[in-house]
């Protein structure tokens, strides 16, 4: 009888422990997956560099609409971040969005003390200040992801290198290529949980669209000390210039990710002037990057102070221009006038 009681008591203790442990596990899982299902990504605009882009009224900056669609297609909304604004504006926007995207483009990188401390000098100064805010936030436990594409990739590494331009000339313009995955790739956040079909496509088929005349070689990646801050995840090859270059990176210490190629073009750009891959496999691979990044942004809980304020800053307030109709390689662009900062920021 005593043995039976001991056995019963033991079972009871085990049951109580199991139930309490299960409750803790469920609470932990629920806490882990209470994510932001209304993420907003801030896309940094850049100075207009093509004279044909100047319209009436005059415009100071633009965002290619394919980046907006890229983010929206993954379940997020977009707030444009204007250049030549003051730090108060940038802080307000940063504290209201859940992630940051630096797009491709054509901007000359300049870096000096005036650039670092003056947010009114365009894309580079704006970007440097936002990267500073992103690092500060993450250091405080405020998970804030950053993504860079092409020029954005180059800019993020330029910023990390304290203004040292590690790029070299290449001819990887209008080229499709596969990715050559490096040793850290399959353990990375960016590629570690990608579907096998995506990894197979990226690694065996030319589905990444490259449009750049400057490349970061693996040698310069190490020589300039960027390997101390970023993992080199993949390389690509420029057969015209005979240059192997870095094509995907991930920060060692922050949720920062960047690719030299253009995933958004696979899905949302249609010019016949460019060699763009639109196969089902190319679309799946491109869509993976968007979904991955937006999922990172879901971990951030920044928000605007009110629905009214949020609505006032969303990209929906602006109408994209059908620039492809005039021969532009971008199907659509959003243009922002010189006095845009007066809208909603009194």
Reply yes or no: is the peptide bond before residue 57 cis, omega within 30 of 0: yes
What is residue 208's three-state secondary structure?
strand
Catalytic residue among 150, 170, 212, 215: 150
Alpha helix stretches (DSSP H) within 95-167:
113-117, 123-139, 151-160
To the query of whether residue 262 is one of the catalytic residues in this protein, the response is yes
> Beta-carbon neighbour count of residue 81 at 10 Å?
26
**Could you tell me how many helices (H) and strands (E) the chain has, helices first?**
12, 15
What is residue 232's three-state secondary structure?
strand
CA neighbor of 234 nearest in space, from 303, 285, 273, 270: 285
To the query of whether residue 213 is one of the catalytic residues in this protein, the response is no
Q: How far, in Å, CA of 293 to CA of 71, rounded?
A: 9
Q: How far, in Å, CA of 33 to CA of 27, rounded?
A: 10
In our burial notation (b when 16+ CB lie closer than 10 A, e otherwise), range 179-206 reads: bebbebbeebebbeebeeebbebbeebb
Q: By the 8 A CB rule, do 336 and 62 touch? A: yes
Both tokens of 107, joined, read 């901007």
Q: How far, in Å, CA of 234 to CA of 188, rounded?
A: 11
> Beta-carbon neighbour count of residue 307 at 10 Å?
9
Contacts (Cβ under 8 Å, ≥6 apart) of 137: 94, 144
Catalytic residue among 170, 215, 262, 302: 262
DSSP string, 17-74: HHHHHHHHHHHHHHHHT---SS-EEEEE-EE--SGGG--SS-EEEEEEHHHHHHHHTT
Q: Please identify every residue annotated as catalytic.
A: 150, 262
């Amino acid at each position: 009888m005593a043995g039976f009681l001991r056995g019963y008591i033991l079972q009871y203790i085990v049951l109580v422990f199991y139930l309490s442990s299960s409750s803790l596990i469920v609470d932990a899982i629920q806490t882990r997956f209470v994510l932001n299902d209304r993420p907003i990504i801030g896309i940094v605009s850049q100075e207009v560099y093509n004279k044909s882009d100047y319209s009436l009224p005059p415009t100071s900056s633009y965002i290619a609409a394919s980046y907006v669609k890229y983010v929206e297609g993954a379940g997020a909304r977009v707030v444009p971040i204007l250049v030549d604004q003051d730090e108060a504006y940038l802080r307000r926007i940063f504290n209201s969005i859940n992630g940051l995207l630096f797009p491709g483009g054509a901007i000359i990188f300049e870096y000096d003390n005036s650039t670092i401390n003056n947010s009114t000098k365009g894309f580079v100064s704006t970007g440097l200040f936002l990267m500073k805010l992103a690092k500060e936030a993450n250091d405080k436990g405020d998970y804030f992801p950053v993504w860079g594409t092409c020029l954005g990739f180059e800019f993020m590494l330029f910023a990390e290198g304290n203004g040292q331009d590690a790029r070299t000339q290449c001819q990887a313009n209008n080229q499709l290529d596969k990715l050559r995955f490096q040793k850290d790739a399959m353990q990375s956040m960016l590629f570690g949980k990608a579907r096998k079909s995506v990894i197979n496509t990226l690694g065996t088929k030319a589905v990444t669209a490259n449009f750049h005349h400057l490349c970061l070689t693996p040698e310069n990646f190490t020589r300039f000390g960027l390997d101390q801050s970023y993992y080199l995840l993949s390389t690509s090859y420029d057969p015209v210039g005979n240059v192997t270059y870095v094509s995907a990176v991930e920060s060692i210490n922050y949720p920062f990710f960047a690719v030299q190629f253009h995933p958004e073009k696979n899905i949302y750009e249609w010019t016949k002037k460019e060699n763009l891959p639109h196969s089902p496999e190319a679309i799946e691979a491109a869509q993976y990057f968007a979904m991955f990044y937006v999922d990172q942004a879901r971990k951030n809980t920044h928000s605007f102070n009110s629905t009214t304020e949020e609505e006032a800053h969303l990209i929906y307030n602006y109408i994209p221009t059908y620039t492809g109709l005039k021969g532009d390689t971008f199907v659509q662009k959003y243009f922002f006038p010189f006095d845009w900062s007066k809208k909603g920021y009194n």
